[in-house]
Every structure is written in structure tokens, then in C-alpha cells.
Amino acid sequence: MLHENRMYFLANQNPRQMMSFIIETADGKIIVVDGGYADDAQHLLDTLKNITGSEKPHVDAWLLTHAHSDHICALLKLVENGFDRLTIGALYYNFPSVQWLRSREPRDEGEVAGFLAARKYLLPISEIVTRGDSYRIGEAQIDVLFTYDPALTRFGINESSTVFRLTLGGQTVLFLGDLGIEAGEKLLSLYGVELKSDFVQMAHHGQNGVDKSVYQAVAPKGCLWCAPLWLWENDAGKGYDTHTFQTVIVRGWMSELRVKRHFVNKDGDHVIPLPFDFD
Ligand SMILES: [Fe+2]
């Protein structure tokens, strides 16, 4: 029996950006956040098998931030034939309607169609979350800080990200998904300095996400960057900071905020104990 809480921050299995976390509580509960692309599904499953010691692992709670392929398609891949590879206690999310998703980004029909195909398996375990909800998963507490607002239109499906906060081992981890500036402003107006958290998952893979003022309120000690090397270095193939992404600018903000530790999934899988000793 494990007597330590751990957060596994998984590396991308192809060159693209993705987001995948597993949280293991000291009392034996398993929580997954997003999961990555379909290409990331096997690595996620293998890691769950290693953690649980089971060939058919059980996930107590699976949280989804939003309906983009780099966040939901690993789950859709794993349940394409139902629960023959793993079982899930409950799936927590709040997606806009299918019509809303299709109207915003018709080119992203693939993941919407995949979600609809898996719906017969997923609906019985779905928990549609609302801002203010709070769930207890063993020793972990999951608070829902933000769900999509149809009035926010600037950043497409990214802006529909649900914001979850994990409290475990006396520390907090804020998952911002791919939230953009507009929703970030609303989040800040709702919570202000109550956003303060020990860790933050950097919005939208660490660039073109929420504005600096949100991170100032969060005042993180640790940053979780779902970014491959090219994105971390804003490299267009011509060297450091030659692309159009804002990652280097956001890294500068975090230096100003005196963040103590950065975890970047370009470096491989990270296993982070909670509480984490930042000193
Ligand atoms: Fe993403």
C-alpha cells in the first residue's frame, strides 16, 4: 500500500503538444486529468497498469477540461470498445452542446464524432459539473472553479475549458486547461487572490492562454508546462524563439513571479509527490 500522494505528469508520445496527468492518492484512489491524443493512450494505460499493479486498472475519477483532440482522444481510444481495457468510476466535465462545438470549429469534427460514438459507454458514468461543485475522491478534493460561458466567443473551444482545482496533501494544483484571455479575465473577476495555488498547469500549453494578471493572482510555486521542446523554446526549426508562439514571453512572466520549480513534459514523465518540498 502506497502511503504517499503522487501526481504523474505524462510526456507527449508524438511531437505535438498534449495534456495528461494521473493523480494517485495515498489511500489508493486514481484520478486522471485529460489524457492526450489517441497516440498517447497506450502510454497512459501502461502507466495506470504500473501504478495500480492491475492489468485492467480502475480510474476512480476522470476529469476532462475541454473537447479538443489533444485532451480527450486518449480516453476515446481507450473506451472505443467499452470498458474492456480499464474501468472508470465517474467522468467529470462540462462541454458545450454538440451544435456549439460544431459551429465554433467545424474542422474539429473528429473529436466531436468520437465523443458521440463513445457516448453510449460514457453517458452512464458522466457527471456534468457546474461552477462551485466540490468532489471528494479519497483524500483528494476536486473543486470546480469555472465552466464554459457561451458569451465568451474569442478563443473557440479552448475558451470552454473547465477549471478544476485539486487539493491533496495540503497543497493545491490549479488546472486551467486551454483557457484564453477572455475566460481568464472572468475567472479572475470571480476569484481574485482566492486563485492562489501551489501549482498551476499553464493555460493553453503555456502560451496564448490566460493573461499575466491571472498568474499573478495564482502566485504559483510550481508550474506545469504541457509543452514539447519546440513549443517550450518557440522554435520554428531555426533556433530559440524563432516561432510565433508566446511561450518565451510567459516564461519571462514566471521569472518575475519567482516561481521555484518548472516541470515541462518535454523532459519525459514527471512523478511529483504531494506535498512537494519546494525548498
Ligand atoms: Fe490543448
In a domain, 279, yes or no: no
Distance 201 CA to ligand 1 centre (A): 12
CATH of residue 232: 3.60.15.10
* CA proximity to 31, closest of 41, 18, 21, 39: 21
- Taking the C-alpha atoms of residue 244 and residue 231, their distance in angstroms, rounded to an integer, is 10
Distance 252 CA to ligand 1 centre (A): 21
- Taking the C-alpha atoms of residue 243 and residue 251, their distance in angstroms, rounded to an integer, is 15
Mapping DSSP to helix (H, G, I), strand (E, B) and coil, where does residue 112 land? helix
Within 8 A by CB and 6+ apart from 192, the residues are 217
- Taking the C-alpha atoms of residue 20 and residue 78, their distance in angstroms, rounded to an integer, is 14
Distance 71 CA to ligand 1 centre (A): 6
Q: Name the maximum alpha-carbon separation found in the chain.
A: 49
In a domain, 236, yes or no: yes
Distance 3 CA to ligand 1 centre (A): 32
In a domain, 208, yes or no: yes
- Taking the C-alpha atoms of residue 12 and residue 67, their distance in angstroms, rounded to an integer, is 18
Distance 65 CA to ligand 1 centre (A): 9
User: How many domains would you assign to the chain?
Assistant: 1
Distance 1 CA to ligand 1 centre (A): 34
**The whole model's pTM is what?**
0.97
Distance 131 CA to ligand 1 centre (A): 21
210 in Cβ contact with 180 (< 8 Å): yes
Distance 18 CA to ligand 1 centre (A): 6
Radius of gyration, alpha carbons of the chain? 17
Range of the domain at 112: 5-274
In a domain, 234, yes or no: yes
* CA proximity to 36, closest of 66, 12, 67, 62: 12
In a domain, 185, yes or no: yes
- C-alpha cell, 259: 516561481
Distance 9 CA to ligand 1 centre (A): 15
Mapping DSSP to helix (H, G, I), strand (E, B) and coil, where does residue 54 land? coil
> Residue 62 CB: number of other CB atoms within 10 A?
24
Distance 16 CA to ligand 1 centre (A): 10
In a domain, 262, yes or no: yes
- Taking the C-alpha atoms of residue 9 and residue 265, their distance in angstroms, rounded to an integer, is 7
Which residues are found with C-beta within 5 Å of the ion, ligand 1? 70, 178
pLDDT at 222: 98
pLDDT in tens for each of the 279 residues of the chain?
Answer: 457 999 999 999 999 999 999 999 999 999 999 999 999 999 999 999 999 999 999 999 999 999 999 999 999 999 999 999 999 999 999 999 988 888 888 877 788 888 999 999 999 999 999 999 999 999 999 999 999 998 888 888 999 999 999 999 999 999 999 999 999 999 999 999 999 999 999 999 999 999 999 999 999 999 999 999 999 999 999 999 999 999 999 999 999 999 999 999 999 999 999 999 999
Distance 165 CA to ligand 1 centre (A): 18
pLDDT at 2: 54
pLDDT at 71: 97
Region label for 252, one of left (φ > 0), alpha (ψ between -120 and 50) or beta (otherwise): alpha
pLDDT at 153: 80
